[in-house]
């Protein structure tokens, strides 16, 4: 399928950065990335830094994302964050179903789907993560796992909501390990995901939905990964915590 999609590159800071460190990082990114229009750039700091980071991004080409949210609109859910709270800080994107949330917090496809619906109800754009473990890949189960996760995690989304959803393919075996999928492996998995979206909706939706790659993205592999026809951006972990590495990923990606 011919690309009709603008790159989207998001930095997932995970449980890193104090508020002061977050402010320093964003100031550096604003300077280095001013004027970049070839990609949508998103930073996803911890909840504690959303307020100060949002102030810095008001006059910039960077967008703000959150790392998680509750499926509930509010109420007696200790320790949770509702969509309306994120909206207060001009959050536009929210990562849902990250492999660490699935592995460490028991999040299921059904829960991720409820969160995605709640995000859309609040006009947030979900970045829905899917991906197989090393054991699943070695057993030849990659496509079966991806089909289960994609169909389950996107269940109930309308065609219009799907067009405002980003999918992040994150092979779990390539997160934080220094081992990344080859461009061909990423392309194969993401082409499969796009075919699934075509079956679930239609080919027009599938052509327009953006699918990121997330798994040890570095400046050295960003250009080749983003050159693949079904790779529409990156969900970057550790390399998004430093100005130079994140900027280099973005600049190499848009030079594809």
Confidence of residue 189 (pLDDT cuts 50, 70, 90): very high
pTM for this prediction: 0.96
91 is written with which tokens? 């959050």
Contact 67, 22 (CB under 8 A): no
Q: For the chain, what are the domain ranges?
A: 7-254
Phi (first) and psi of residue 121, to 5 degrees: -60, -25
What digits encode the pLDDT tens for the residues 104-127? 999 999 999 999 999 999 999 999
Taking the C-alpha atoms of residue 215 and residue 171, their distance in angstroms, rounded to an integer, is: 6
CATH number, domain 7-254, options 3.90.1150.10, 3.20.20.70, 2.30.33.40, 3.40.1390.30: 3.20.20.70
What digits encode the pLDDT tens for the residues 137-171? 999 999 999 999 999 999 999 999 999 999 999 99
Taking the C-alpha atoms of residue 114 and residue 106, their distance in angstroms, rounded to an integer, is: 14
* 98 classed as catalytic: yes
Q: Is 101 left (phi over 0), alpha (psi -120 to 50) or beta?
A: alpha
Asked if pLDDT for residue 1 goes beyond 70, the answer is no
Among residues 98, 100, 107, 132, which one is catalytic? 98
Nearest alpha carbon to residue 70 among 105, 22, 104, 43: 105
Among residues 71, 100, 107, 170, which one is catalytic? 170
What digits encode the pLDDT tens for the residues 76-93? 999 999 999 999 999 999
Percentage of the chain surpassing pLDDT 70? 96
């Amino acid at each position: 399928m011919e690309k009709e999609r603008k790159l989207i590159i998001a930095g997932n800071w995970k449980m890193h950065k104090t508020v002061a460190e977050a402010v320093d990082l964003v100031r550096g990114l604003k300077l280095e990335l001013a004027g970049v229009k070839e990609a949508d750039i998103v930073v996803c700091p911890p909840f504690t830094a959303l307020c100060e980071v949002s102030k810095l991004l008001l006059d910039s080409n960077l967008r703000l994302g959150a790392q998680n949210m509750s499926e509930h609109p509010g109420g007696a859910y200790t320790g949770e964050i509702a969509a309306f709270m994120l909206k207060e800080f001009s959050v536009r994107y929210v990562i849902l179903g990250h492999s660490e949330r699935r592995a460490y917090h028991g999040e299921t496809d059904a829960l991720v789907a409820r969160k995605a619906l709640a995000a859309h109800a609040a006009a947030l754009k979900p970045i829905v993560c899917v991906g197989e473990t090393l054991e699943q890949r070695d057993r030849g189960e990659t496509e079966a796992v991806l089909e289960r996760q994609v169909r389950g995690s996107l269940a109930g989304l309308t065609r219009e909501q799907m067009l405002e959803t980003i999918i992040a393919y994150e092979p779990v075996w390539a997160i934080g390990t220094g081992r990344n999928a080859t461009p061909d492996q990423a392309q194969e998995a993401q082409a499969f995901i796009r075919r699934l979206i075509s079956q679930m909706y239609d080919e027009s939706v599938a052509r327009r939905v953006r699918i990121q790659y997330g798994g040890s993205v570095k400046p050295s592999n960003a250009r080749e990964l983003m050159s693949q026809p079904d790779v529409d951006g990156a969900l970057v972990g550790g390399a998004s915590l430093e100005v130079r590495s994140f900027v280099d990923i973005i600049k190499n990606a848009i030079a594809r």
